[in-house]
């Protein structure tokens, strides 16, 4: 009797997955060790409250910093595949799920000698790729190994027999590297990180899929375009050695932005100007550039969905001397810890006609969540610029954060006040974002610069 009770208690304590098809009628789970502001909060809520209860905690805790073991991940994969499992009272739950994992082909005999040890990231990739056909229907995943090798700094440390699985998981955006460009194949995942991986595994829309930026103009083509349209770009006095010399109606002497505080500032200015001008011409939109000598000197780059030179839909301000978010200072004094080098304003990422063609009628009381509020061609513009400013990987993290705000704001019925202060996970930049209608109707994201653009 005591042995049976001990087994039952052990099963309850470590239970991460239950039978499929069970509906949850009780309140959503929450955990004492998963604060709402934690980067993994949303992912933990997803796996814990999933109908198949993919991961659950014990005694009110989730254990977000604990390592995930091999048998626990096999259990998650079996549950995600919809396999209902009842663990007999005289059986150890791990043995039961491992046996099913072997039957399904998620693992092979002899691959693991210890199922209770922490699983590595590369081993997790293998189980993910083997289980995907049954879980999401994804199979026959193609990839360019040379491209992936060029993006993973520690590619050669991936065990040879696991490289195919790692490349496929990386290509799908389910399991990717960190902001340092490394995949860390032999490292372990915490339960919090595992929750994020599982969330992406089951929700493809959340995946970080790498798409190489579009090839824009060559330097020669860009500079010829500026010369041919000089009347539209008065602020560009001249371009020499890939550096843009600036002027305005008051400060007429050609001037470079000071790189004392931001060594990459002139490179970023050149590349962002070239890129935004290219997309504006390609998409039939407009591009603007303005220079001010105030606040140590700054440049405003504007991408206009319509030809309104005074109200760009995507605006990037680059400061030579970092500044504080004046709206945040007014309404949330002291919450921004460090000054910002960049200020983004994103008013829209979709043409009006694109929204109307979906059947949306302003003022009709329609459910805005049913419509798509961003257009792929404008997402591409914003993503490309973000990657120039922050680096290929960190740029994606900021892009995802900003676009989520744009979509949520566009789909909401009211413009509620919201804020975000602190370091953005995956980007290594500090964001000072404070929106307080009606004083701050636009989405202004003030950010620091990364030490290294990765």
Percent of the chain residues topping a pLDDT of 90: 63
pLDDT at 186: 94
The model's confidence at residue 58, banded by pLDDT at 50, 70 and 90, is confident
Nearest C-alpha neighbor of 324 from the set 448, 450, 449:
448
Residue given tokens 């910093």 in the structure block: 65
Work out the angle between the directed axes of helices 191-202 and 70-80 (0-180°, nearest 10): 20
In 3D space, the residue among 341, 354, 356 whose CA is nearest the CA of residue 390 turns out to be 341
pLDDT at 394: 86
> Which whole-number Å values give the CA distances from 233 to 226, 355, 429, in the listed order?
7, 31, 31
The pLDDT confidence band at residue 23, using thresholds 50, 70 and 90, is: very low
End-to-end Cα spacing for the chain: 58
- Over residues 349-375, the pLDDT tens digits come to 999 899 889 988 877 678 888 889 999
pLDDT given at position 309: 62
- Alpha carbons within 13 angstroms on the beta-carbon side of residue 245 total 10
- Between 102-116, 165-179, 405-419, the lowest mean confidence (pLDDT) is in 405-419
- Residue 187 or 9, more confident: 187
Q: Does the pLDDT at position 185 exceed 80?
A: yes
Phi, psi of 316 (to 5 degrees): -125, 120
pTM strictly above 0.75: no
Question: What is the token pair recorded at 163?
Answer: 């490289």
């Amino acid at each position: 009797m005591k042995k049976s009770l001990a087994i039952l208690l052990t099963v309850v304590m470590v239970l991460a997955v239950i039978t499929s098809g069970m509906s949850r009628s009780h309140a959503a789970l929450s955990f004492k060790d998963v604060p709402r502001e934690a980067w993994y909060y949303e992912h933990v809520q997803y796996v814990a409250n999933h109908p198949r209860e993919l991961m659950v905690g014990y005694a009110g805790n989730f254990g977000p910093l604990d390592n995930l073991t091999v048998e626990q991940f096999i259990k998650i994969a079996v549950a995600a595949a919809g396999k209902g499992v009842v663990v007999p009272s005289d059986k150890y739950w791990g043995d039961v799920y491992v046996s099913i994992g072997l039957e399904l082909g998620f693992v092979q005999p002899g691959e693991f000698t210890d199922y209770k040890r922490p699983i590595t990231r590369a081993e997790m990739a293998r189980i993910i790729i083997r289980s995907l056909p049954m879980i999401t229907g994804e199979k026959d995943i193609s990839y360019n190994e040379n491209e992936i090798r060029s993006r993973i700094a520690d590619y050669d440390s991936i065990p040879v027999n696991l490289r195919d699985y790692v490349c496929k998981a990386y290509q799908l955006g389910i399991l990717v590297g960190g902001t340092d460009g490394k995949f860390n194949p032999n490292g372990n995942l915490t339960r919090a990180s595992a929750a994020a991986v599982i969330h992406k595994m089951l929700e493809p829309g959340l995946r970080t899929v790498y798409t190489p930026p579009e090839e824009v103009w060559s330097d020669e083509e860009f500079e010829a375009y500026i010369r041919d349209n000089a009347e539209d770009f008065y602020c560009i006095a001249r371009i020499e050695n890939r550096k843009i010399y600036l002027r305005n109606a008051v400060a007429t002497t050609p001037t470079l932005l000071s790189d004392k505080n931001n060594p990459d500032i002139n490179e970023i200015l050149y590349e962002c100007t070239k890129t935004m001008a290219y997309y504006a011409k390609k998409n039939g939109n407009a591009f603007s550039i303005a220079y001010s000598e105030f606040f140590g000197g700054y440049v405003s780059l504007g991408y206009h969905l319509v030809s309104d030179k005074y109200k760009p839909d995507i605006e990037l301000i680059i400061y030579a001397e970092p500044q504080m978010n004046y709206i945040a200072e007014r309404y949330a004094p002291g919450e921004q810890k460090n000054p910002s080098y960049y200020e983004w304003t994103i008013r829209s990422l979709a043409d009006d006609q694109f929204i109307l063609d979906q059947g949306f009628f302003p003022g009709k009381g329609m459910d805005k969540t049913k419509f798509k509020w961003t257009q792929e061609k404008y997402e591409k513009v914003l993503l490309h610029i973000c990657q120039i400013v922050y680096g290929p990987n960190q740029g994606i993290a900021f892009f995802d954060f900003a676009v989520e705000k744009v979509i949520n704001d566009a789909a909401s019925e009211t413009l509620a006040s919201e804020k975000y202060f602190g370091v953005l996970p995956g980007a290594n930049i500090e964001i000072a974002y404070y929106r307080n209608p009606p004083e701050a109707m636009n989405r202004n994201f003030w950010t620091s610069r990364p030490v290294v653009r990765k």
